[in-house]
Amino acid sequence: MSANGTSEKILYLDPTLPLAERVQDLLSRLTLEEKLGQFIHPVKGIPRLGIPAYNFWSEGLHGVGRNGRATVFPQVIGMSATWNPELVKTIAAAIGDEGRAKFHETLRVKGETNLYQGLTFWSPNINIFRDPRWGRGQETWGEDPFLTGEMGTAFVCGLQGEHPKYLRAAACAKHFAVHSGPEKYRHSFNVRVSRHDLYASYLPAFKKLVTEAKVEAVMGAYNRVLDEPCCASPLLLQDILRGEWGFAGHVTSDCWALSDLHGAHHVTSGPVETAALALKTGCDISCGCTYDHLGAALEQGLISAADIDLALSRTLATRFKLGMFDPQEQVPYAATPMSVVGSKKHRNLAYRAALQSAVLLKNEGNTLPVGGQVRSIFVTGPAAASLDVLLGNYYGVNTQMTTLLEGIVGRLPEGIKLEYRPGCQWTQESLSPLNYAEMEAAASDLTIVCAGTSPLMEGEEGESILTAESGDRAQIELPLVQQNFIRNLSARGARIVLVLTGGSPIALGEIAEMVEAILFVWYPGQDGGRAVASLLFGDAVPSGKLTITFPQSTADLPPFEDYSLAGRTYRYTEKEPSFPFGFGLSYTRFEYGGIKIARAGVLAAGFQVEVTVKNTGEVAADEVVQLYLSALDTRLPAPLNQLIGFRRVSLKPGQSKTVRLAVEPEMLMQFDEDGRQILEPGKFRLTAGGCSPGARGVALGAAQPVTLEFEIP
């Protein structure tokens, strides 16, 4: 009741009012103490207003993470290898639905949510996978800015949903910006990067997610960029994010990153000054620390009450969009039932994603799929019976996880003898002088070696316990113990199919010549074993394509700490790779032809490109048509080749399809040394095919690409 005895209208509880009006009304009702309780990720409840505590920190990288039962989809680097944005959008919607169901069930049972039980998912990771030694590269969409933007946008749109008022869940683009290792230096590292590389490579995906996907949140990185800590960077947060791009959502720090401002970067004198600097620069909520000093910063005059209200208005707006202050019957996503969690539909979706993500790197003599002449199979290697390789990092768990061994056994036709022995460890030499696996392999018609890397060998700082590099890899070569094991099998005459798990490139060297087939399956999710078996036995056809270059060796890499793109990724390196970006074989063959510009007019205004692709083999299969642009006359530091379009198409034997791809004006522009986009006149080349341009892909079996040159006067 108001002072005159009339009923007061509580505006923030009225779903019909504009969002800004509701946020301001709620702000006006909070005491300073209540406001200050809303700035570290487990925000405090406000009992007198009936507002429960809420924890902003939840994970949904490739499934609801760290919160019990959930569908486990392939790790992100595997999902990127599908080159299928629509599939990624569907997966992200499934993650959002499972998060919704678990959130509301937790509220019903517990009355509030705890760590990892919310609807603000700190995903996707859209950093550029610039160096294959980075342990967290597995969380990314690969090395290409355009592909990362396309796939990341699909993920955000699926996770957040398409309702005009409510979010299914809130996505977060991380880690802003220029962040990709080394892990052991991430808390103190100062990235020196040119404005050209910043705008041409490290920022495009963030820009697309902010301006097109309307991502709800952005997470600042641990490191500094050009002397400014990312979580308190005027350049990144004010000039670019909110200035150039008009970002209206909220910014969160990475976890305990604000303590690095004074503890590692030494740009402030202590936590009070850090809290003030970060808040005024635009970091709205802190994960883990430091913002408990905002009250002191306010008392000392380092920040104002208006600064507090501005930051809080942004995080409250997200909670309003999630329907947290509205009657649940009015929030469509609130009715999501628990039956969706780990459902058969979602499991089949995980299986489909694992099928499309696997990349066939070699298939000598059509060894795969396994034919009827094979009467005995020997399965071996450290990945065969491992659950860890299904999961990657930032994962949930499920009661229906199928290892590679289980998948093969489940698909094995009766009449084929199968035996299994581990054979070797990931990195530790055998202590026994006798290894029965070598004899079993020699006596079998076909040996399937499941090897590669494990999340124990690559991941985040503090997580991967088989690496001394804080989660990174010092060398990208297959571990020596695994190399020697495969050499011994080969020396005894074993016919080997190599199934490689991993979240990053593995340099095989001469090992690639000792095996008949190589299938790279990433960290394939809960149904990875079933999917791999389907591919091995021909129930499905491999169609994945690499989204990161596989170098020949560690020696081919620039220094890890060097963030210049010179000599890195397919866009800027001239060194011949082991397996190139965009590469992946099939059980059929494809042929390209008929490339042409489909729409006449001023080329600089954008146009359509048509290219024909034909399945010339005997089995139905998917192909990923890729379009690359080269600026031939540029004076600027332009990429050698740059992906500007792609399309996954399904083709029956003998079938042709004409694929049309748009070339937007911005794609024709280059970045100058100041990061400005410029359209230079001159000659350009378009290349369409099933792999990035270069002789290596064709030599390995990719279809011959087709090219077209044109000129902009």
| Beta-strand relationship, 621-631 and 682-689 | antiparallel
Rounded to whole angstroms, the Cα distance separating 572 from 551 reads 13
Strand partners, 250: 217
Q: Which of 228, 273, 284, 458 is catalytic?
A: 458
C-alpha angle 397/399/401, rounded to 5°? 75
Which residues have C-beta within 8 Å of that of residue 411, sequence separation ≥ 6? 530, 533, 534, 536, 537, 539
Residue 142, φ and ψ in degrees, nearest 5:
110, -165
Strand partners, 664: none
Q: Which of 144, 216, 254, 469 is catalytic?
A: 254
DSSP three-state, residue 569: helix
Q: Nearest CA to 283 among 251, 256, 308, 246?
A: 251
Task: State which H helix or E strand residue 706 sits in.
Answer: strand 706-712
Task: State which H helix or E strand residue 190 sits in.
Answer: strand 190-191
Strand partners, 362: 518
Which residues have C-beta within 8 Å of that of residue 476, sequence separation ≥ 6? 132, 133, 504, 505, 506, 507, 551, 553, 554, 557
- Contact call for residues 138 and 393 (beta carbons, < 8 A): yes
Question: Order of strands across the sheet with 656-663?
Answer: 590-597, 607-615, 656-663
| Beta-strand relationship, 670-671 and 677-678 | antiparallel
516 catalytically annotated = no
Q: Nearest CA to 669 among 608, 604, 713, 596?
A: 604
Rounded to whole angstroms, the Cα distance separating 422 from 322 reads 48
Sort residue 509 into left (φ over 0), alpha (ψ -120 to 50) or beta: left
Rounded to whole angstroms, the Cα distance separating 437 from 168 reads 50
254 catalytically annotated = yes
| Beta-strand relationship, 190-191 and 224-225 | parallel
- Contact call for residues 364 and 517 (beta carbons, < 8 A): yes
C-alpha angle 485/363/527, rounded to 5°? 75
What Å distances lie between residue 567 and 53, 564, 711, CA to CA?
A: 49, 8, 27
C-alpha angle 651/653/659, rounded to 5°? 30
Q: Nearest CA to 121 among 217, 247, 254, 256?
A: 217
- Contact call for residues 107 and 52 (beta carbons, < 8 A): yes
Alpha-helical (H) ranges within 556-618 are: 569-572
- Contact call for residues 501 and 475 (beta carbons, < 8 A): no
Catalytic positions, please? Answer: 254, 458
